[in-house]
Chain A
């Protein structure tokens, strides 16, 4: 059982380049999330999707867009990458509920560097 799969694991971008982080879950979960984790800070929610067809902004949405392609997949797009977006990105899913659902299942993370 794969759980939450996100790709790529590592990425280096130049300022201004665009890219999409992919995430898929095979647990039939309704809710999916994108977080970023920076040194010395807690995880911060970028966007979430409480159910298929809906997306909402989290704490730090600026510079990002998301697409809930279907129940399984939730992608995160950086249209014009900036050095401030250098971070580790985690996708997560949960069975139900919104952004305060307790049991989140995380992907293994994407380490992104923007030069």
Chain B
């Protein structure tokens, strides 16, 4: 089993819809969780950190479920510009472990 797993997608979503995807992790001792965004053939960029109490930034909400060992990302009122691959990142044994990403395609 991979340490960090994501549904690769793609998720095809109409503009304006709400979309959510999860990321599961295997190390119960993990303390730090992040979502990065990567556009096609570009570098990853930090989208948001995930705190125990959840985190909201505009249309984006990230949550942590320690009991089931997953984090989630919710995007409301999706825009065409949200089309990208979303990378889940979790710390484990003093290193960051990256998921392979979930591809999101927003359609007009």
Q: Which A positions have Cβ atoms within 8 angstroms of B? A: 40-45, 58-59, 90, 98-100, 102-104, 106-109
CB of A42 within 8 A of CB of B87, answer yes
Which of B34, B49, B98 makes the CB contact (< 8 A) with A43?
B98
CB of B100 within 8 A of CB of A40, answer yes
Chain A residues in 8 Å Cβ range of B95: 45, 58-59, 99-100
For A88, give the chain B residue with the smallest CB separation: B41
User: Which bucket holds chain B's interface residue count?
Assistant: 20 to 34
CB of B43 within 8 A of CB of A102, answer no
Chain A residues in 8 Å Cβ range of B91: 100
Chain A residues in 8 Å Cβ range of B4: 42
For B5, give the chain A residue with the smallest CB separation: A42
Nearest CB on A from B89, distance (A)? 8
CA distance A104 to B35 in the complex (A): 12
CB of A102 within 8 A of CB of B32, answer yes
CB of B97 within 8 A of CB of A42, answer yes
With an 8 A cutoff between CB atoms, is B42 at the interface?
A: yes
CB of B44 within 8 A of CB of A106, answer yes
CB of A106 within 8 A of CB of B98, answer no
| Extra inter-chain contacts (10) besides given A42-B87, A90-B44, A102-B46, CB under 8 Å | A40-B8, A42-B101, A43-B87, A43-B98, A90-B43, A102-B32, A103-B46, A104-B44, A104-B46, A106-B44
